Structure 1
Amino acid sequence: MRAAPSLKYLQVVPPFSEHFFESEDEADESIDNGPTGGLTWDGRVDRGSEQAKIPLLSDFEMGNKSGVEVGRHVLKAGYGKAIADIAGPKAGGDPAIAFRTALKALEVFQQDYKTFYPYSSKYDAVLAGKVALTPQEARGLELFNAPDKGNCASCHVSQRGHDGTPPQFTDYGLIAIGVPRNRDIPANKDPAFRDLGLCGPLRTDFIGRQEYCGLFRTPTLRNVALRKVFFHNGGVHSLQDAVRFYVERETHPERWYPRKADGSLDKYDDLSEEAKANVNMDPPFDRKAGEEPALSSTEIDDVVAFLATLSDGYEPPK
């Protein structure tokens, strides 16, 4: 139902909060940034073990009926001794303990910095003074940061923290951007079905909170150039198109949304009518239909070139 989020760079994501105040060394701590944090698109879990449980027990992912069933699979696969070494002799034959131990093991594994937060991209090398961006990449970074152009950095923070920490390329906030409906998702064959993120249906504690409907967590853009699908519903299939959506959503909505039976445009067609009021209108979404997009095609290519510098595994030339 949703695109699989990256498990990388989750180690600094704050626990979910309805009212998030920036830390004192980052910004004005009196500003309430609203719903922020959590490890999933809707922010509903805060620990790696809780996140790992979701696909294992989801009806539309791995489809296990219970943790005990998962535990049986773990033991049948030959992990009984390893489970017993961690959780004690009795655990090697207890599916419930095996399940809990496996979840904890997955959480610990995701703390391996070499795998999950290596900070080994070209941009990290640039920040360390080891290499320079190409002219196109540098133009892309400038456009990425410029409030009157891409304005990407307003949510995907590109600067080091005041304490010197590497940029995470996310502010962890939940936001509604009105991405087009992905009609390839089986659940969307029901025209009445809506995945509204923070207000449900997968997250249940905010169902009925209309001000939260349509909000999804801003993902990191680290390694974004390696992805094949984009946004929470995976409905966009190239990075160029993902960037283009941001600058054309309001200026050329007919390129992104279908027509209703009466011929009118069905903007933000993956949202309920009530949730459409929550769609973000900050730049570059502040333009009107028919106006020039904030980025030209060449400038989109420049931004995409910069985003490619965020992929891990870069080796500076010797």
Structure 2
Amino acid sequence: MDMAQRGHRAVPSLKYLENVPQFTEHFFDSEDEADESIDNGPTGGLTWDGRANTLAEQAAIPLLAPFEMGRQTPQEVVNRAVRAGYGDTLRELGPYLHTTNLFVVITKALEAYQQDWRRFYPYSSKYDAYLAGKATLSPQERLGLKVFEDPEKGNCASCHKSQPGYDGTPPQFTDYGMIAVGVPRNRALPFNRNPNAFDLGLCGPDRTDLKQHADYCGLFRTPSLRNVATRHTFFHNGFYHSLRDAVAFYVLRDTHPEQIYPVGKDGKVLKYDDLPERYQENINMDPPFGPQPGNRPVLSDNEIDAIVAFLNTLTDGYSATQASDATQ
């Protein structure tokens, strides 16, 4: 294993995966509890391309990936675990999991570990406290929430659901759907040194069963925005390293693309440069994307800052006592 080798996708969070549905090409769901006739298209799965349906399946991916744990076979993973002293424990767990395959035991153990709600889905953010009536948002945070939910402004909540479900489920800040947003090509990735190499999400290269679906090319799963303010890379290819820049991308992509994409030798902006032209019709054009009257961005700088402030309220570990101390 070469620890200096880089992959071609940003590492997704393992938090708040407990409600993610298994991948399906036809997901029927609606905000109206009585209406389940709306087909939302490809949805679900635990990876950027939805190819893992269980936490055990997801756990196997980094164990065998050449740019992560780098083991070549499941047996090599088992051999290392045994040499590290876990052999007896793994064999003892096997009968409970109805298997003698120790690699399966390892991935199932990792799956069980991720059932710890205190670590993986505590719902302990300021926004959770706000929804419970135990915290107050600042004026800037309230503005951010308003713009986040406004379908004519940020329209963020159309994909990043910000209100509890009709069954009382806390807001997940994702609809689990697949979407192409046309994020710029990350030329810092070794994978992208080949100008003909493209990460097409649902239709490859990591996922191979849907590669014939041209209408899926460029689509990646919408991640939850919980704890997004703690991240240092954004979008599937990790192009952005600032949360504010990531938010501004949505605002400027189609009104000021020269601020988003590189410019070619002919002076033309290389818009949507990380997706072959034949697939660019898959790119989402819902607000805040798309051309705007007078070419004016749909959000002001103050509104972008407000959304960022609101997103900071989604970080777990909020304490009303600490917040009170910080204001004194």
Q: TM-score range by the shorter chain?
A: over 0.9
How many aligned residue pairs are there?
314
Moved more, 229-238 or 264-273: 264-273
Q: Map Cα deviations across residues 47-100 of structure 1 (whole Å, 9 max, x no partner).
A: 0010011111112222211000011111111111221221259x9xx9x83321
Partner Cα separation in structure 2 for residue 221 and residue 263 of structure 1: 36
- Distance in 1 (CA, whole Å) between partners of 2:217 and 2:148 is 27
Identical residues among aligned pairs (%): 61
Residue among 193, 205, 208 paired with 2:209: 205
Contact 2:292 2:298 in 1 (8 A): no
**Contact 1:74–1:98 (CA under 8 A) maintained in structure 2:** no
Matching of residue 315 in structure 1 with residue 319 in structure 2: yes
CA distance in structure 1 between the partners assigned to 2:69 and 2:292 by the alignment: 44
The answer for the alignment partner of 1:66 in structure 2 is: 73
1:149-179, CA deviations, whole angstroms, 9 ceiling, x for partnerless residues?
1110000000111111100000000000000
Structure 1 residues 133 and 35, CA, compared in 2 at 3 Å: closer, same or farther?
A: same
Aligned to 1:301: 305
| Structure 1 residues 66 and 155, CA gap change in structure 2 (3 angstroms) | same
Hey, what's the Cα distance between the residues in 1 that align with 2:117 and 2:184? 35
Alpha-carbon deviation of 1:23? 5.8
Report the equivalent of 1:49.
56
- The 5-angstrom pairing of residues 166-177 of structure 1 reads 166-177=170-181
> Is the contact between residue 250 and residue 289 of structure 1 (CA under 8 Å) also seen in structure 2?
no
Residues 27 and 261 from structure 1, CA distance in 2 versus in 1: closer, same or farther, beyond 3 angstroms? Answer: farther
2-structure distance, mates of 1:47, 1:4: 17
Q: After superposition, what is the alpha-carbon deviation per residue over 1:220-272, rounded to whole angstroms, capped at 9, x for unaligned?
A: 00000000000000000000000000000001101111123332211110001
> Can you give the 5+ residue segments of structure 1 that lack an aligned partner in the other structure?
none
Q: Specify which of 257, 263, 269 is matched with residue 259 of structure 1.
A: 263
Contact 1:25 1:163 in 2 (8 A): no
Q: Which structure 2 residue ranges, 5 or more long, are not aligned?
A: 1-7
**How far apart are residue 28 of structure 1 and its match?**
2.9
CA contact (8 A) 1:253 1:289 kept: no
Structure 2 length-normalised TM: 0.92
In 1: Cα distance, 2:130 partner to 2:76 partner: 48
Secondary structure of 2:101's counterpart equals helix
> Is the 1:174–1:218 Cα contact (8 Å) retained in structure 2?
yes
CA contact (8 A) 1:252 1:290 kept: no
CA deviation string 1:175-210 (max 9, x = no partner): 000000001111100000000000101000011211
1:310 is paired with a residue whose SS is coil
User: 2:34 & 2:198 partners in 1: Cα distance?
Assistant: 35
Alignment of 1:4-15 (within 5 A): 4-15=11-22
Between the aligned partners of 1:27 and 1:144, the Cα distance in structure 2 is: 26
Query: Superposition pairs for residues 279-298 of structure 1, below 5 Å?
Result: 279-288=283-292, 291-298=295-302
Residue 2 (structure 2) pairs with residue 16 (structure 1): no
Q: TM-score, normalised by structure 1?
A: 0.95
Q: Secondary structure at the match of 1:69?
A: helix
Name the aligned partner's letter for residue 188 of structure 1.
Answer: N
Distance 1:24 1:178, change over 3 A: closer
Instruction: Tell which deviates more after alignment, 73-82 or 114-123.
Output: 73-82
Please tell me the root mean square deviation across aligned C-alpha atoms, in Å.
Answer: 1.9
Q: Aligned partners of 1:84 and 1:17: how far apart in 2?
A: 34
Q: Show the counterpart of 2:145.
A: 141
Residue of structure 2 equivalent to 1:233: 237
| Aligned twin of 2:194 | 190
Distance 1:273 1:84, change over 3 A: same
Deviation, 1:286, is 2.2
Identify which range, 53-62 or 153-162, moves more after superposition.
53-62
Inter-partner Cα distance in structure 2 for 1:285 and 1:27 = 30
Q: Which amino acid aligns with 1:30?
A: S
Q: Secondary structure at the match of 1:274?
A: helix
34-43 or 70-79, larger mean C-alpha shift? 70-79
DSSP 3-state at the match of 1:284? coil
